[in-house]
Structure 1
Amino acid sequence: MNEVVTFGCRLNFYESELIKEALRKAERENVIVVHSCAVTNEAERQVKQKIRKIHKHDPNKEIIVVGCAVQLDPKSYSSIPGVSKVLGNQDKLKAENYLLGNNKMLVSDSASTALINKFEDRSRAFIEVQNGCNHSCTFCSITEARGNNRSVPINNIIEQIKIFVANGYQEVVFTGVDITDFGADLFGKPSLGSMIRRVLKDVPELERLRLSSIDVAEIDDKLMDLIVNESRLMPHLHLSLQSGNNLILKRMKRRHNREQVIEFCHKVKSLRPNITFGADIIAGFPTETDEMFQDTVDLLKAANIVYLHAFPYSKRKNTPAARMPQVPENVRRERVRNLREMNKEMMSSFYQSLIGTKQSILVEQNNIGRAENFALIKLVSKVQAKSIVKANVIGTESGYLIGSVFS
């Protein structure tokens, strides 16, 4: 039996389904594919640790390592004991590359986009609508690993969603590297907003559509109108922020400033009060002082960011940020710890505010599901996975809301 061990972003989890299909087409058995991530040094450390653990536990198991970390540094992965093959981002999706006897190292220059026919073991379906990135943030090596922006044609997206809906999926998540840059490379340059409107019109059976990380600087009027007024577009936005200090944002080469973020969140909240926000934050970026870090803390509070992904800055070779004056590692770790502690309090307050409300829940495994605002809720009665139910929120418990289903 084959296994795919996935690290990293939602796009990786989507592509892991393609890899499973490629293994089936290649008629491979007893293979473990480690789908790598290169967003931080810690991510790469965890990937290498997992490879060594697999090999130690079963030295006869064939291990194939694929993905972004391989794309950036294939030799360091092909040399790990137990690794039989490494495949870059384009090559990992092709069945023929998993056949025995092929080259041990296949790393082409760019990644490719693709659609899948089915999705395993999840209550919501992920769809890659875009891959790659045209921007050059000073801390990031993903552009090198994934290539330039490439959008999936709208007709292909609609076809894929129809397949998922026919197979019982009621929620679809759009994923990619920079999804708000969707369409810039397609004929007519359709925007993400115009694509979403077309999808919702052509697939009326789709109950819920959710967006992965978006960039405030790329949100146009069409997308804003949908965020505010379209009930099938879930009231939960995850923002690619990275910092709350304007000078650090400039040094990161981000295209927004703190004022734009706060204004955007306040405007959307005033027009759609049930919306919630998440964000990615890098703590301890080179040259970040205590005062600059405090700007980030203040922004998270001002914008009411509930779902926080906070990480210490990770020095990536061949990036401009790697040549800037570095913040000590212990300071980076302490700032992340402070952010996460603050977020626990904000999350607890948010969950308390939902007690007594009615929520629409997409049920996942073990009677746990997600509300439209992405709150995690445990249901007191057994409900079939993939179904959408209404629930009264009656309390909280260990990071969950507690919900009682009603008809």
Structure 2
Amino acid sequence: MNPTKKVAFYTLGCKLNFSETSTIARSFKDEGFDRVDFKETADIYVINTCSVTENADKRFKTIVKHAQKSNPDAFVAAIGCYAQLKPEELADVNGVDLVLGATEKFKITDYLNDLTKNDFGEVHSCEIEDADFYVGSYSIGDRTRAFLKVQDGCDYKCTYCTIPLARGISRSDTMVNVLQNAKEISEKGIKEIVLTGVNIGDYGKGEFGNKKHEHTFLDLVKELDKVEGIERLRISSIEPNLLKNETIDLVSNSRAFVPHFHIPLQSGSNDILKKMKRRYMKELYVDRVSKIKEVMPHACIGVDVIVGFPGETDDAFLETYNFLNALDISYLHVFQYSERDNTEAAEMPNVVSKAKRAKRSKMLRGLSAKKRRAFYEKQLNTERTVLFESENKEGYIHGFTENYVKVKAPWNPELVNTLENVKLTKIDDDGLVRFEFLKELALK
């Protein structure tokens, strides 16, 4: 391969996709490619797709157009979840040359012997049953934090979700491999690792290509907590039924795990949860939040919620709204339900209109802003540790406390990728928090 060839990547969707893009990008580097920004002219554009919402599907076509605008002769490859679910649909998009499914994406450089534009997109995708092996990944694009993949696939059968169809059965990395990846990340000077996967609480299932539980998620966090050089570990998202008291207690006494949990709820109505085939009722969710707040009153808790699921009446939505309003949580990620092919929910009656979905989404986003503000206000006048990020945003540097309060200060390049002890002092007009350095307060 020509060592001067340039490759650019665009990632849609979740942290897991970002970790996989980063790993795939390193395989290109090993083959002699130069990685450039997606806005620049490249010889190959790789788009890592998402299938969670209808919007992600639509954005794909826009991204292909951007690539073609930068270089009409560039080779365009599509990988990821949407590429596994609807390879022919992506192959039909004007400008797409190659579509790789779930098992093929990690071998993408094997398919690039000829970078001549194709008249039609070439498809290489497996039956999802064949996606039964594990490829470890981590992202290191950001100097301050890395996404570390520990698990892939899902055995749950939620009625709205295509992820099991796109990623296959639940399977995990070996403990040895996860710890090795964590050490590699720490050696690059990265201070924070975010654990990611499709269903990370299910960690331990499917190690070595079988269904034996060699280790549990609790075993994993115990061992990761010992990795030297990593200052912070964050659990990205974990199902409420898989978040055990032992894990919460471990985080509360941990050296490196931070008091921040993201726990999908999806609905505050038990009737809707049953239709979704979720594996808990709302009472369990209350119990998990109460347990976290009991041992870590300052913990940040984020919540995923879906509005407009088939059969969600006005009363059922208000039940969700009131449930969330009463809950001691910190912010929401709100998703409008969107019909996905080959899911049970797509065939369900009592469809909620798009207008109602949008209205309910707006209401919950308003509630999220209120919750975040209340959480930030509770953190004022407390002492926290901030990890500062690398970007100069209009003359300011941003960072996050261990419990996920976003702070700002005038730009100072010396702060990049440092951990500083601060006292949170006030909330600015843009909703971010100002602070004073404890070392400066000590001199006063």
TM-score, scaled relative to structure 2: 0.87
Per-residue deviation, 1:259:
1.0
Distance 1:64 1:95, change over 3 A: closer
The answer to whether the 8 A contact 1:229-1:272 is kept is no
**2:21 alignment partner in structure 1:** 16
* Matched residue type, 2:425: I
Separation in 2, partners of 1:41, 1:75: 17
* Matched residue type, 2:253: N
**1:206 alignment partner in structure 2:** 230
Per-residue deviation, 1:173:
0.9
**1:369 alignment partner in structure 2:** 399
Aligned with residue 93 of structure 2, among 55, 59, 80: 80
Q: Which residues of 2 match residues 78-117 of structure 1 at below 5 A? A: 78-101=91-114, 104-110=122-128, 111=131, 112-116=133-137
Distance 1:116 1:138, change over 3 A: closer
Structure 1: which 5+ runs fail to align?
none
Separation in 2, partners of 1:75, 1:169: 39
Q: Which residues of 2 match residues 53-202 of structure 1 at below 5 A? A: 53-101=66-114, 104-110=122-128, 111=131, 112-116=133-137, 119-186=140-207, 187-201=212-226
Separation in 1, partners of 2:357, 2:383: 40
Per-residue deviation, 1:36:
0.6
* Matched residue type, 1:90: T
Separation in 2, partners of 1:12, 1:324: 30
Per-residue deviation, 1:95:
4.5
**2:48 alignment partner in structure 1:** 35
Per-residue deviation, 1:247:
0.5
Deviating more after overlay: 107-116 vs 168-177: 107-116
**1:356 alignment partner in structure 2:** 381
Separation in 2, partners of 1:369, 1:287: 41
Separation in 2, partners of 1:263, 1:140: 25
Separation in 1, partners of 2:166, 2:65: 23
Per-residue deviation, 1:376:
1.1
SS of corresponding position for 2:55: helix
**2:368 alignment partner in structure 1:** 343
The answer to whether the 8 A contact 1:91-1:97 is kept is no
TM-superposition CA deviations, 1:73-113 (whole Å, max 9, x none): 01111111111111122211114334133892111234453
Structure 2: which 5+ runs fail to align?
1-5, 35-41, 116-120, 440-444
Distance 1:22 1:109, change over 3 A: farther
SS of corresponding position for 2:220: helix
Aligned with residue 309 of structure 2, among 285, 289, 302: 285
2:277 is the alignment partner of 1:253: yes
Identical aligned residues as a percent: 33
Counting matched residue pairs gives 406
Per-residue deviation, 1:62:
2.2
Distance 1:28 1:166, change over 3 A: closer
2:297 is the alignment partner of 1:273: yes
TM-score, scaled relative to structure 1: 0.94
The answer to whether the 8 A contact 1:180-1:214 is kept is yes
Deviating more after overlay: 239-248 vs 189-198: 189-198
Deviating more after overlay: 76-85 vs 140-149: 76-85
The answer to whether the 8 A contact 2:19-2:149 is kept is yes
Per-residue deviation, 1:362:
1.1
